[in-house]
Amino acid sequence: MTIALDRPQKTRSAQIREKLGYPIIDTDVHTQEFEPAVLDYLEQVGGTALVERFKENLPGSSRFKWYKQSWEERFAYRTNRPNWWGRPTKNTLNLATISLPKLLHERLEEAGTDFAVVYPNLATMAPNIGNEEMRRAVCRAVNTYHADIFRPYSDRLTPIAAIPLHTPEEGIEELEYAVNVLGLKAIQIPGYVRRPIPAFEKYGKEVANEVVWIDNFGLDSEYNYDSFWAKCVELKVVPTTHASSQGWTTQRSVTNAQYNHINHFAFAAEALCKSLFFGGVTHRFPQLKFAFLEGGSAWGASLYADIIWHWETRNKQHLLSNNNPAIIDKEALVELYTRYGSELVDGRLDKIGDGLGFHHQLLAPENPGELDEFELAGIEKPEDVRDRFLNHFYFGTESDDTRVSQAFNRAANPFGDAYGGQSQRIKAFLGSDSGHWDVPDITAVTANAYSMAEREIITEEDLRYFLSIHPLELYTSLNQDFFKGTGVEKAANEYLAGK
């Protein structure tokens, strides 16, 4: 039987691409591995016994324990309801596209896309596997598998390498293998590692698995990850992340998966972004940039403004000058209480206390240096926040996410119109999320993005930054040859020459 595949000669997205005249780079296209082939690779890496263990405990399978529990158990354990039916199944062609590299390569033109960074399903999950032996074997297997199957299509597609980071050492080892042996040039790190809180381990494994803290590799981390960041710089790769926060505190509805899904990528990305910023990673590694996929860019604009606001109201000098309990004029305060307090305070003036800061000297940091919580980030003025943030963080945004307007609203964003204006956008860029339920038609990606300019949600100039300039900027920041041999090599060289 021959299946009729409806393939328009030229989609609207392809027509728009021709009209725009510049390359469109999609930084987040999802694909699905062909499991039997992946298992062959895993067997080569870890042996038959490990493959059997893998099949019994597939990555992400813990999400589905909800289905095995009774309603009583779900509420007793507060098991968050997972997503379901995550693939675009109505159109067979679109479904096949996400799992066949040759077909995806052929159809990028229909999407109006010149080049795409690919995030395979299992690769996004592998770094979060708890068991070290399994985690490292699966990462090695999927990285080798994807390097092999996408190599013939490298002119338009490049897959990410899955890099585990439970320790900096395991991250460095897999990074070196992925880049130096497999030739991969894009990577994905986990957004965090769930670590047990030591004080609760005495209550047993079941409690320890639930009572955890989130290690985001920067502020207050279990390890010093500077050796890993340095290795990224050395090997010229940009860390990107695609992390989920479903199951965290407020993302834990037992009955409603949409409640758990909304903003969960943004929450996880924001936690990592804050950790990198306040932990001083962007201060110590001025060459290094980071990208956060699928969470949109509105949270990035909000976080940027919020950090500046907190610095202006909570920097060390401001606190010492305006909030230090030691500067209270106690005599004047008592006089005011006496004059206006009447019977409310009569006979109890000696009780004036914590609410007004009287006893907060007892709570002051032993080391005055601890007042400066911006010290690691190297912040001495608000312009430093701008530089540590805008020069380092990029935000993957879907083609129909109109909230991208917040990233490009330079009138509202701090320093948006100052210091050249053009460079002060929040660095949002296209991450279509093709291959998932929310992108039922890959050929609509460019048309969706262009419609935002048509509706004047963003300008034509902003659109170019979104679709082309920001991705070029990100991926050539460490590796100027990132696009060598691809369909966008000429545009990348022109961009680099014009910097």
Q: What is the pLDDT of residue 293?
A: 96
Q: What angle do CA 396, 397, 400 make, to 5 degrees?
A: 160
% of the chain surpassing 70 pLDDT: 93
DSSP codes joined into one string, 378-411:
T-SSHHHHHHHHHTTEEEEE-TT-TTHHHHT-TT
Q: What is the pLDDT of residue 111?
A: 93
The CATH number assigned to the domain with range 12-314+389-498 reads 3.20.20.140
In this structure, of 83-87, 220-224, 417-421, the range with the lowest mean pLDDT score is 417-421
Q: What is the pLDDT of residue 84?
A: 85
Long-range contacts of 47-55 (CB under 8 A, 24+ apart): 50/133, 50/134, 50/137, 53/134, 54/134, 54/138
DSSP codes joined into one string, 451-480:
HHHHTTSS-HHHHHIIIIIHHHHHHTTT-T
Token pair of 288, please? 């290094």
What does DSSP say about strands 193-196 and 212-215: parallel, antiparallel, or unpaired? Answer: antiparallel
From CA 275, how far away is CA 215, in angstroms rounded? 9
CB burial string 443-460: b at 16+ within 10 A, e below: bbbbbbbbbbbeeeebee
Confidence of residue 5 (pLDDT cuts 50, 70, 90): low
Asked if the model's pLDDT at residue 213 lies above 50, the reply is yes
What number is the average pLDDT over the span 336-353?
A: 86
Per-state percent for the chain, helix, strand, coil, to nearest 5: 50, 10, 40
Half-sphere exposure (CA, 13 Å, Cβ side) for 25? 27
**pTM, entire model:** 0.93
Nearest alpha carbon to residue 187 among 118, 134, 281: 118
Asked if the model's pLDDT at residue 355 lies above 90, the reply is no
In this structure, of 325-329, 418-422, 490-494, the range with the lowest mean pLDDT score is 418-422
Q: What is the pLDDT of residue 364?
A: 64
Q: What is the pLDDT of residue 457?
A: 96
From CA 288, how far away is CA 226, in angstroms rounded? 12
Q: Is 305 exposed, middle or buried (0-12, 13-18, 19+ CB in 10 A)?
A: middle
**Contact (Cβ atoms closer than 8 angstroms) between residue 243 and residue 272:** yes
From CA 123, how far away is CA 189, in angstroms rounded? 10
First to last CA, the chain: 54
Name 281's Cβ contacts closer than 8 Å, sequence gap at least 6.
Answer: 217, 218, 225, 226, 229, 288
What number is the average pLDDT over the span 416-433?
A: 76
Strand order of the β-sheet with 427-430 is: 25-31, 115-120, 157-162, 186-189, 239-241, 290-292, 393-397, 427-430
Asked if the model's pLDDT at residue 320 lies above 70, the reply is yes
Residues of the chain with CATH 3.20.20.140: 12-314+389-498
Half-sphere exposure (CA, 13 Å, Cβ side) for 248? 18
Nearest alpha carbon to residue 439 among 62, 59, 34, 104: 104
| Interval 19-42: pLDDT, tens | 999 999 999 999 999 999 999 999
| Interval 108-123: pLDDT, tens | 999 999 999 999 999 9
From CA 113, how far away is CA 127, in angstroms rounded? 28
User: Between the CA of residue 446 and those of 36, 87, 94, 154, 441, what are the distances in Å?
Assistant: 33, 20, 16, 21, 11
From CA 375, how far away is CA 8, in angstroms rounded? 57
